[in-house]
Structure 1
Amino acid sequence: MILELLGPGSDPLRALSVALRLAYYVACLGAAGLAIFTMGFGRLQEASDVASCRRLTLALVAAGLASSLAWLAAQVALASDGDPFDAEVWDMMLASRPGISVLVTWAGLLTMALATWTGRIAWPLAAVGVVAIAVSFTQVGHTTQHQPRWLLATALVVHLLAAAFWAGSLLPLMIASRQAGPQAASLVEGWARVASWVVAGLVVAGGTLAWLLVGQLDLLVTTAYGWALLGKVALVGALLGFAAWHRFRLTPALAAGAPGSGGRLAASIGWEIVVMALVFWAVAEMTSTSPRPEGM
């Protein structure tokens, strides 16, 4: 959104569209990540924490529904000289890739909300909703404009599922860390073991996407997309630093019952959440520009 405002001939409506897309990503992937976390680690949480995660998941589902609808309305406005209520353009938009993407997102969010409301017995249904949300993003964006389409779509789904798992886990982990104790240590250690494999998948899928979309190293420093991508990579590097610090220093201290270890881990995860939010912002900036100059 900042790139849109700073560029020549800036368009506030386009900047608003990017901001809405950012809210759309955060809400949908946050809800999906919380559902994944609960499916995998809910049994290790306190009952009150499970209930809190369920309420937050439902709140993020509502935010995802609202922000995706608002983003689609912004696309209608952009296509109709500023009128977000143009019925004819709405008909065309709902049949287009952005419309189909939002409809699939809605199906995934509502399926996941139903499973979350019902409880653990419906988690297979939640898994379907989570995958639907990830797949919905393959209908729009740069992966629809380049080849090989199947590899780009697969890498994007893997990347999004891994990112959702990581982002959606941070708040429950911070809450558990504050409580400290053996149960919290068991939760954090179990999550860290799984996260090592998930992060590896995230990095491989992200590298595949970057190479197929950019294609040339010089474009990293000669295009707005390249600079936004470099910013994202730097921020992900910071997240990996947090992950290593937590796994090898703060989590063992928590497991050993060191005084104040829970508070230190919770505070560090809080800063990790801030960096994760900046990663989503970098992604929103990347989606507002092309990875390659026109004609390439």
Structure 2
Amino acid sequence: MGGAIAALEPVQIASIFVKAGMYVTVLLAAGSVINLWLLAELDSVASGRLRRLAAWSAVAGVVFSALNIPLRAAFFFGSIVGAFDPIMLQVAVSSPLGVSTVVGSMGLAAIASIKLNRSWTRAVAFLGVVLVVISFALRGHATSDPRVAMSMLFVIHILAASFWVGGFFPLYDMVGRGGAGAVRTVEQFGQAALFMVGLLVGAGAAILVMLAGDPIAVLTQTWGQFLALKLIVVALLLGLAGLNKLRLTPMFAETGDGKPLRKSIRWEMAAFVLILLITATFTSIAAPEYAG
């Protein structure tokens, strides 16, 4: 794993950071819309802020998604010159990544409309979430055999991850202002999280087995070692989530002091960003070899 990092080329480094930025912004945009629908106790201030966050994240997501195209062209060409080569750009646009980027960008544009807060924008934004989630099933490992099963698992995995990422800001916002509505919001998120986290972990485990075959044997591969690092951070994230639900949320409800819970949410945010950065790294420099 260390050798793979040391051997990184400029195009790969750029790809990692662009891909990580895309993951963060796209999941945040989709997750913000999901949480606007699920968290009925959000007050008008939190709802307005979350709509703006969804819209600006969607705009940033379009930019990061588009940047993946010239970087893929540079990868095909073998140097950064390929990012400006019309033929290589056409190849990249015609690839599964290009199709996925178009579908995802359409979804993000629909999500951005939620900032207008009109009667029709929520329905349009929800359609955008569907397109964004589907876009992840049109590229990368999601196109592996068995195609239908892999696509469905990726849709579930991305949907659950979006919910979790999108919940950080409204929870942090509501807890910071306190009150009964904040307590109900945190409790409501916790109830939904039990189901969503189960989907996230279950789908992720199924994807791992289908891609790698033998989860133990895959640890001998660079891809598997990055994945193991990711799973360690995921375990820490799950521990923080458990702490929030079992200890910090009841403490907040009893005392009204939201500082410990907000601190834990900040650590959750940091852990999730790290997970997405690790994911961007190993999907950019290594691929699984079937080890079953």
TM-score bin, normalised by smaller chain? over 0.9
Q: 2:48 aligns with which of 51, 55, 59?
A: 51
CA contact (8 A) 2:219 2:225 kept: yes
Query: Is 2:51–2:114's contact at 8 Å kept on the other side of the alignment?
Result: no
Judged with a 3 Å threshold, the aligned counterparts in structure 2 of structure 1 residues 174 and 158 are, in CA distance, closer, same or farther, namely same
Residue by residue over 1:175-195, the C-alpha shift from the partner in whole angstroms, topping out at 9 and shown as x without a partner, is 111112111001000111111
Matched, 1:69 2:63: no
Aligned to 2:261: 265
* Distance apart, 1:223 and its partner CA: 0.9
Secondary structure at 2:84 match in 1: coil
CA contact (8 A) 1:35 1:116 kept: no
Q: Which residue of 2 aligns with 1:277?
A: 273
Shift of 1:82: 2.4
Shift in CA distance, 34/259, structure 1 to aligned 2, threshold 3 Å? closer
**Structure 1 residue matching 2:220: 3-state secondary structure:** coil
What residue in structure 2 maps to residue 113 of structure 1? 112
Instruction: Quote the Cα distance in structure 2 between the aligned partners of 1:53 and 1:120.
Output: 17
Q: Does 1:214 align with 2:212?
A: yes
Aligned to 1:167: 165
Checking the alignment, whether the CA contact within 8 Å between 2:208 and 2:215 is kept in structure 1 is: no
Q: CA RMSD for the aligned pairs?
A: 2.0
Tell me the equivalent position of 2:37.
39
Contact kept? 1:158, 1:205, Cα under 8 Å: yes
Which of 181, 184, 196 aligns to 1:183? It is 181
Provide closer, same or farther for how the CA distance between residues 195 and 168 of structure 1 changes in structure 2, counting only shifts above 3 A: same
Q: 1:156 to 1:2 in 2, by over 3 A?
A: farther
Question: How far did 1:227 drift?
Answer: 1.1
- Matched residues, percent identical? 29
Deviation at 1:120, TM superposition (A): 5.6
Q: Which residue identity is paired with 1:142?
A: H
The separation in 2 between residues aligned to 1:133 and 1:123, in whole angstroms, is 15
TM superposition score normalised by structure 1: 0.92
Determine the C-alpha separation between the residues in 2 that align with 1:189 and 1:148: 38
Structure 2 counterpart of 1:100, one-letter code? V
Could you tell me how far apart the structure 1 residues matched to 2:71 and 2:243 are? 41
Aligned residue identity for 1:245: L
CA distance in 2: counterparts of 1:177 and 1:251, whole angstroms: 10
- The answer (yes or no) to whether the contact 1:116–1:126 under 8 Å persists in 2 is no
Cα shift readout 1:147-189 (whole Å, capped 9, x = no counterpart): 2111111001100000010011112111111112111001000
Q: C-alpha offsets along residues 46-74 of structure 1, whole Å, 9 cap, x if unaligned? A: 21111111111111111111111111111
Question: In structure 2, what is the Cα distance between the partners aligned to 1:184 and 1:12?
Answer: 45
Q: Does the residue aligned with 1:139 lie in a helix, a strand or coil?
A: coil
Residue 239 of structure 1: CA displacement? 1.3
CA contact (8 A) 1:226 1:291 kept: yes
- Secondary structure of 1:217's counterpart equals coil
Amino acid at match of 2:149: L
Q: Which runs of 5+ in 1 are unaligned?
A: none
Q: Which residue of the partner structure matches residue 6 of structure 2?
A: 6
SS at match of 1:221: helix
Structure 1 residue aligned with 2:282, among 277, 286, 289?
286
1:151 aligned to which of 149, 162, 175: 149
Structure 1: how far apart are the matches of 2:175 and 2:155? 30
2:268 counterpart letter in structure 1: E
